[in-house]
Amino acid sequence: MKLFNITNELINNQEVIDKVIHHNAGAVSVFIGTVREMTGEKQTRYLEYEAYVPMAEKQLEKIGDEIQEKWPSAKTAITHRIGTLQISDVAVTIAVSTPHRQDAFEASRYAIERIKEIVPIWKKEHYSDGEEWIGNQKGTEKYPEGRPERIEK
């Protein structure tokens, strides 16, 4: 059972959730990222995601390790889909279980923020009036260290 994977298939949310449920978990926080139609004035027709798959899976695993360090009882599973996605399709599902709810909420948020920083996955928008590769969603011009670093909390 892979806790961290990149797939070309439809994501089954329940499968991701089931990976983190165990007898000492009292909470599971699930984040699901879906394809949005309108971004400001721009209308998305569909999206294309690509990934550097082996490295992306390693980086997802690394996010799992970071979560483990910050919230030692947490268990994390992440599946990110690549390929062509239609409006409302699920692009990413993150499940984090912890003994108590507060940590689960925080850790699942941490996971999605880190995905947007360090995981080599790219999104190409196909708008009603053109197409573009999206990058730098966080608006950071350059990584100060020449590479993504840990989030300073």
Partner 1 sequence: MVQILLFASLAQQAGTRKISLELDTPVTIEQVRDHLQNQLGQLTGIENALIAVNEEYADLTVEITKGDTIAFIPPVSGG
Q: What residues line the site for partner 1 (CB under 8 A)?
A: 33, 49-52, 54-56, 58, 80, 91-92, 112, 115-124, 133-137, 142-143, 146-148
Structure tokens at 34: 């879906």
- Choice between 73 and 122, CB closer to partner 1: 122
CB of 23 to partner 1, least distance (A): 31
Short-list 127, 125, 64, CA closest to 94:
64
What is the residue whose two structure tokens read 């995981």?
Answer: 119
- Choice between 73 and 123, CB closer to partner 1: 123
- Per the DSSP assignment, residues forming a β-bridge with 85 are 47
CB of 100 to partner 1, least distance (A): 26
CB of 20 to partner 1, least distance (A): 19
CB of 142 to partner 1, least distance (A): 7
In this structure, are strands 38-39 and 90-98 parallel, antiparallel, or unpaired? unpaired
For residues 105 and 3, give the distance between their C-alpha atoms in angstroms, rounded to a whole number: 19
Short-list 95, 87, 80, 89, CA closest to 42:
87
Contact 87, 109 (CB under 8 A): no
